[in-house]
Amino acid sequence: MQYKSFLFLAIVIFLTSITSGMLYIENSTLVIDKFYGQNKILQITLSNIGPQDFTNISFKDNDYIIMTEIPLLHPGQSTTFNATIISDVNYIGEVRLEGYIYREVGVSPKTYNISVDDNDGISECYISIIIGDSINWSNYYSYSFMKMVGSHSLGWPDNVIPKGEDAQYNFIYPEIFSYHFLQGGFGCIPTTGSECIVEVNDDEDYIIDRNLSAILNLDLTVVYPETNIIVNTPIISYTLPLDSNGNLLSTGGMLTIQNTGNEIVRNAYLSGDFFSFNPNSFDIAVNEVVPVSYTILPGVTYTNQTNQTYTRIINISGNFNTFSQDISVFIPYQNIPEGGISGGLTFFEMIKQFCELNPTDEWCIGRTTVITQNVSDLEFNYTMTLGQMNSLFEFMFVEADAREEFENFMKEILSDYDERLNTTSLSVQNIQGNISGVNEGQKSLNNNLAIFFIFLITVIFGVGFYVYIDYIKRTKKYNLAFGKFLKK
């Protein structure tokens, strides 16, 4: 009996941990194929594994699945209900099943910590709190500062959190506060175009706490009724032209797609290496003929890739049998400098050339336009997607951070060298002092030696002179008064 109680408690704890809340859906991952225009009904079992009642439970804020609202679900209670898939577009993502709980008065204010760093971004992008609670944001990001852009100002200087510092705000009234962080004015965290949410709830009302919601992971594929197409490709062999300077130019052609079936063609998609298509990913009504232009722009990078014929395949897929057509592309000889692209054309020149030939292509008409200059000082426009722009900014920040780390590393090395140089200078000074002392000692020694030798010579000379005088006295008489010798 104790074993069963322990097992039940372990299961409840496990379910709570994997569902991030107190509502739990059995088989929470659904992979569904649904025919276009036909709703699909499925059964879902929901359990309340929390300590409080949930009321008015339903799928909120989505265009994919609907259900009849569940009025009340007590703690420990389960129910099985029908849900209807209504979407006619493919979808892979989360859908939340949420209910209201009663928040009682008297809950003690809490402080929640949210960190921002290089690896994980924002540690908690959605958080549900009640009035009186505070959020403390910590900037562990390697960039110098993070600027918050939110629903309103939080009162910090310029809404900036310097590197390695914290900033706190106390929420005192119910609101939905959305925000993201900027790095040096560019890019944003968590990701471009997305927002993080602080949901501030009243402390004495029925509220939805998303942390207690059940999550349904939905993988929806819409199956369209099959139809038939006829594709006409008048030209299947091309030779890339050269300009007056011998540079390779792009070329293009046209094909037509006719819907010969009894159903609408859905999302006809054209693909192929070397090719860009306009339009692409479109519908075709029954018996309608749609012309599609395409541009051939190989973008070869080496001389040995020229003077060759390539066979490339155009594929057309959709709710019909996939169509494939071989296209022959001859690239004339061109001497491409090392590091060049397509006969010396720069990347931006290629984009300019491509967009002049395809002004309506999705690459050339996006929302983000960048002005740049080529080697000829001619301005032109080209388009980058938000993802490309974010990647560019991310690269810039990584490079800036790497440069900053390198500069700090060099400063440390120079500082170390400076300390070593100072130490060496002091050592040299000490050595010079010691040498000077040795020189003075040597001079003193030399003087002493000179005096000693003088004294020694004097003694030797004196002794010799004494011996000589004694010898004279013994052999001769010497008159000291007159300095004369007297003979014996």
- The 10s digit of each residue's pLDDT in 115-139 is 888 777 888 888 988 888 999 999 8
- State whether 234 and 340 are in the same domain: yes
Q: Give pLDDT, residue 144.
A: 66
- CATH code of 240's domain: 2.60.40.10
DSSP, res 336? P
Decide which of 72, 101, 130 is a domain's last residue.
101
Q: What are phi and psi of 333, to 5 degrees?
A: -65, 140
- State whether 236 and 341 are in the same domain: yes
Q: Give pLDDT, residue 76.
A: 92
Residues 6+ apart with CB under 8 A from 55: 71, 72, 73, 99, 100, 101, 206
Residue 236 CA to residue 256 CA, distance in Å, equals: 13
Residue 135 CA to residue 294 CA, distance in Å, equals: 54
Distances (CA, A) of 65 to 29, 86, 126, 390: 14, 6, 22, 32
Q: Which residues of the chain have pLDDT under 70?
A: 1-21, 105-107, 143-144, 184-188, 191-193, 338-411, 417-418, 424-425, 427-428, 432-446, 471-488
Per the domain annotation, does 200 fall within a domain? yes
Per the domain annotation, does 318 fall within a domain? yes
Residues 6+ apart with CB under 8 A from 293: 252, 253, 254, 277, 278, 358
- State whether 254 and 316 are in the same domain: yes
Per the domain annotation, does 480 fall within a domain? no
Asked whether 315 and 282 are in contact (CB, 8 A), the reply is: no
Domain holding 291, by residue range, is 230-345
- State whether 185 and 248 are in the same domain: no
- State whether 120 and 76 are in the same domain: no
Per the domain annotation, does 91 fall within a domain? yes
- State whether 334 and 262 are in the same domain: yes
- State whether 66 and 158 are in the same domain: no
Asked whether 357 and 375 are in contact (CB, 8 A), the reply is: no
Q: Give pLDDT, residue 233.
A: 94
Decide which of 54, 75, 101 is a domain's last residue.
101
Per the domain annotation, does 106 fall within a domain? no
- What is the SS3 assignment for 234? coil
- CATH code of 160's domain: 2.60.40.420
- State whether 177 and 157 are in the same domain: yes
- What is the SS3 assignment for 132? coil
Q: Give pLDDT, residue 373.
A: 35
Respond yes or no on whether the N-terminal peptide bond of residue 190 is cis (omega within 30° of 0). yes
204 is written with which tokens? 């004495």
- State whether 84 and 136 are in the same domain: no
Per the domain annotation, does 397 fall within a domain? no
Per the domain annotation, does 456 fall within a domain? no
- State whether 250 and 338 are in the same domain: yes
- CATH code of 51's domain: 2.60.40
- State whether 77 and 184 are in the same domain: no
What's the structural domain count of the chain? 3
Respond yes or no on whether the N-terminal peptide bond of residue 279 is cis (omega within 30° of 0). yes
- State whether 297 and 199 are in the same domain: no
Number of Cβ atoms within 10 Å of the Cβ of 325? 15
Per the domain annotation, does 339 fall within a domain? yes
Decide which of 41, 70, 101 is a domain's last residue.
101
Strand partners, 218: 30, 93
- Which residue do the tokens 């983000």 mark? 368
177 is written with which tokens? 């506060």
